[in-house]
Structure 1
Amino acid sequence: MAASEGTPAAQIDHLDIAGGLENLPVTVWPPGAGPAPFQYTPDHVMGPGAATDPTQITFPGCRCGAAPCLPGSCPCLRQDENYDEHLCLRVLGPGAKYSRPVFECNALCQCADHCTNRVVQRGLQFRLQVFKTDGKGWGLRTLELIPKGRFVCEYAGEVLGASEAWRRTHSQKRQDPNYIIAVREHIYGGPVLETFVDPTSIGNAGRFLNHSCQPNLVMVPVRVDSMVPKLALFAATAIGPGEELSYDYSGRFLNPVEGGEEERPQGGQLRKPCSCGAAVCAGFLPFDGSLYCPQPVLFLVDNEVGLPPKASPAALEAHMASRQMTHSGEKLYMCQDCGKGLSQKSKLIYHQRVLSGEKPYLCHECGQGCKRKSHLIIDQRTHSDENPYVCSECGNGLSLKWKSHFIVHEKKHCRKKPDVCHEYSKGFSQESIFVGH
């Protein structure tokens, strides 16, 4: 939303909500007003349940030195240069098929501070202002022209574990604003990396960004010092002074998905309406079902532990934590039939097989169903004429059910006297008696 034409630039309030922590002050309009108090941080901070401290440096640094960082020679540039000579993100716009990963040079790199692969880490480069919008609460706008592709700001806050993100989401009331964002990065042929950030109490200017179905910003995960990404927002188009900054909360910009999104209930009520005013407005704010999914449980699909439709591993982890089925309690996996908590995935599979009475292992000799694969092997050995266990003493083949039984059989022959005299063929149970003999 553009600034009002009747708002003189000279009357901009000099209140800096960043408290001097940014390169440039983040002012507030109108004068004398301001958003609810919160703790300002320009970078991520470690929150409850986070696996990695975002302030730790875990990436090795490059050794480019005075030489420019280029693909092939700099390990920080995995595919191609991330930014051009004007510090604009290279892969951006409708021609981009997807948002590719971005790695910047870090604190351990030996390249210069003005390296072109150091952009997001430099912080704010444009003057921003928090202002009161018409019907959308507080918003964020730029006070100067931002060229397409330039870095604008981060979405910084507490980095949470999935269970804490689920707990905080469910503790919110319908009228409460939701700042929690879940970013999922799909690795080709690999896992899905999930990052949960909550700037509700601890955050930066990015927390004031409103949603738009036709945004002028795009969020790109940028990694600098560790695998915890900075949620960097770049200009998707040239943005004029006074224009409101916005991004698509669903993350579909630069990451299109097939099919449309239907209106879904949220806690038995309709979703919140969207007020972006764009010509292509969907009418409702994006909905992340993984954080609102009620009590997801484990179930069995092709002998593998899976999740019900529309339930993510993040929601599962949150549900497990809510029921105190943690590793410390040794009850991480829950049976959907009886609610029993189990410590291992294999135990859950076996437990559900017992309850279902499926007996999935069938003997091809008699057709008898066995609950365990080991039971099937024993059953087949009983039927077989091969007599796989052969006694070295008497030469008899045995179809005993357990190998331990066969060992007992052999011990009966030697009567637990393994030391045998080669002169008299007499066996002795102890080495000392045999030596005395």
Structure 2
Amino acid sequence: MMKLIKLFLFLSLCLFTCGVVSVEGATENQTLCVSPNNVFHARVNLYAGELGYYVFEECGLDNVNPTIAVELGETYTFVQTHRSNYFHPIGFAYSPYGDEELKIEVEPGTSRGNQSCIQDYTCHAPMYFINDEYVGHYSNNPDIKNITHHEEDFGLDVYEPLFMRNPHEWAQFGNFTIKLRVDDPDITSDMFIFCHIHEWMAGRIKVTKNGIPIIKKDVPTLGFEFDYNTPLLSDFDKECGTFALGQYQTPDNPHCPDHFVCDKDDPMVTPEMAHFGSCIDAMNCAMLTGMTTGIKAQDERALFIHQMIPHHQNAVNMAKALLKTEKIHCADLANDEDPDCILEGILYEIVNTQNLQIQAMFDYLDAKRFPEADNCEVPLDKVSDTLAESAGAATLQMPTYIYLQHVTRNWLTGWKALGVVVATTTVLLMSVAALVPQF
């Protein structure tokens, strides 16, 4: 009996002091992240998938999209000050889906439990702060503000737009925090953290009572798979900081030249630089392959998007790869004069704005019922024998369009040279003629 008491005391202590705890039989995931002081410091791991996923310092930075536990009736603070949060304002919902039609957000007028709060907008909802100042009017938390009725503004409309400023301006605003107090004991659904700008970044929240989840099963189910659980995030991608490049490594890809970055084998080149060059090679191979498209949709808009998406994906991968090297030393992202901070800001803008545009373009294809992709193959050796003989066998390693440019350039250069010879000869003959006595 004494052993059981000691075990119970140990588990109780761990629940309030350990970041990640296992609660047997309490949840399908078996693991909950519990903050000892009810504070979660958010970051975005940009390398865990195409868009990145939230991580929290209290849960371990290697624990991507942890299942968070929030105790009924207690106030939790989510801190978004770390620079990786740029363009990723946190929201809360009862559904994991990124689709606006399917996502039911946690707001003063929504509930997945007691319905009496809906009409007077007293349901629990997040409250948004900038530099410790609440920027809304609604409240379900008397420790922050008197409880309100018929008030919808919980600060999101002030908070979210600031995340879409340029990175330096965003950082200059200071501390971004959210406070959440779940107070409905009749809740029938898990909650989810999601990004208000990028889709498919949902992380589950389990509401607990006395440390035990009120809903033991995962309700609702996720409905999609995270990128880090798929082969698209290869070991090569993990090394480069990229996404979906494993199959495009050179020189073994039959659709790409041996390399795009030269001199990687030079003994003066460091291994780190050679590796980064290999990452760039794979990015460019992916873009070259992706931008080799058909026109089956017979629509200029579809062709534009089919070309632009791989172009954007290449830019995102290139920016993430450079961030991954940690060669940029920016002490304060708010500094818009330091060259490294300027470059880091550019990289964050490329990653986040172009990822948003990629999602918008995929949504457009879906809305117009265009195919998601229309790839075609153009083998590197698909050139005529005549052109091959003109340019030499070595150029067959080039993509076809580069090869044709090369041949055309040589052809034009030849004609230019011939023109110079003819012009020079003409001038010489005219000069000689001027010196010859007239007969």
Larger Rg: 1
- Structure with higher helix content: 2
- Structure with higher strand content: 1
Structure 1 and Structure 2 fold alike (TM over 0.5): no
Q: TM-score range by the shorter chain?
A: under 0.3
- TM-score normalised to structure 2 length: 0.24
- TM-score normalised to structure 1 length: 0.25
